[in-house]
Amino acid sequence: MKKQLVYFLFLLLLSSCQDVIEIDTPSTTPRLVVDANFNVYTNQNPSQVEGSIKLSLTTDYFDIEKKPINDAQVSITNETDGTVYPFTAIDNSGNYKSPNDSFIPEFGNLYRLNILYSNENYSAETVLIPSVPIHKVTEGSGSLFGNDDTEIIVEFTDDPSRNDFYLFDMDFNEFLTTEDEFYQGETFVFSYFYDNLSSNQEVTIKIMGLEEQFYNYMNNILEQSGEGGGSPFQPTPSTIRGNIVNTSNSANFALGYFSISETYAYTLTLN
């Protein structure tokens, strides 16, 4: 009993010494964040486009709520033939889409993203970056850390006529980047391991072509985000500049990227 009383007094002493510490984090000027990434499935007839333009503002460090932008003027111009594709806000989450999905990028054209927000103009340019098909995706029997791992084996052949950079969407918000420096023109096979997948579950693997600048950008994003967990296009703890340029005020730069990628997908149902 006496020993319990000593413990009680000790715990009471500890609790009485606790003070509330308030951390005063500095507020930062909100910056425009642009997620304008389009996947073009050229192996479908006609080509199908997946993607939209998402606009938001950066928040202070401890703010968890996003600040979507729904009042910007947004368009993409085909600089090759002059066609302008307007994009309109479709909900209150900052998503903009082209009416009737009229924006279908093609090889050989230069596309410019135009954004007018808060009396400032933002722009970026890109072209449709080629990719290669995925030959096959199979379920392996290997494991990485334990028996609960599921091995997925991906096989594709690189194009020998160019230097390629790829982004793999491994499903479940997991991504990988790779370049063909060591396997140019060759068939490349790699394994990827998942946790807690179940039988009969579908896994869809996508391969996207990237320009070198976007490849380096994605490497930085994935490195800071731990290579998974959430969209890779969300702002990260440190500032990573993309290809969005503020042509009205260069000091008020935006974050994010405008890209158009030829994309191939392969869906596997697990055993």
How far is residue 29 CA from its own chain's centroid? Answer: 23
Distance CA(170)–CA(222), nearest Å, equals 13
Residue 60 pLDDT? 60
Please check whether residues 46 and 103 belong to one and the same domain.
Answer: yes
Please check whether residues 144 and 224 belong to one and the same domain.
Answer: no
Please check whether residues 221 and 90 belong to one and the same domain.
Answer: yes
Q: How many domains is the chain built from?
A: 2
Please check whether residues 45 and 86 belong to one and the same domain.
Answer: yes
Please check whether residues 248 and 139 belong to one and the same domain.
Answer: no
In a domain, 271, yes or no: no
pLDDT tens string for the chain (271 positions)? 444 434 433 344 444 455 554 444 445 788 999 999 999 999 999 999 999 999 999 876 545 566 999 999 999 999 999 999 999 999 899 999 999 889 999 999 999 999 999 999 999 999 999 999 999 999 998 877 767 789 999 999 999 999 999 999 999 999 999 999 999 999 999 999 998 899 999 999 999 999 999 999 999 999 887 654 445 555 444 578 899 999 999 999 999 999 999 999 999 999 9
Distance CA(224)–CA(247), nearest Å, equals 28
- What does the radius of gyration of the chain's CA atoms come to, in whole angstroms? 24
Residue 69 pLDDT? 97
Please check whether residues 75 and 62 belong to one and the same domain.
Answer: yes
66: containing domain = 32-131+212-264
Please check whether residues 145 and 124 belong to one and the same domain.
Answer: no
Please check whether residues 227 and 125 belong to one and the same domain.
Answer: yes
* Structure tokens, 152: 């997925």
Which residue type is seen at 142?
A: G
In a domain, 201, yes or no: no
In a domain, 21, yes or no: no
Which residue type is seen at 237?
A: P
In a domain, 162, yes or no: yes
Cβ burial of 205 (10 Å; 0-12, 13-18, 19+) is buried
In a domain, 190, yes or no: yes
* pTM summary value: 0.84
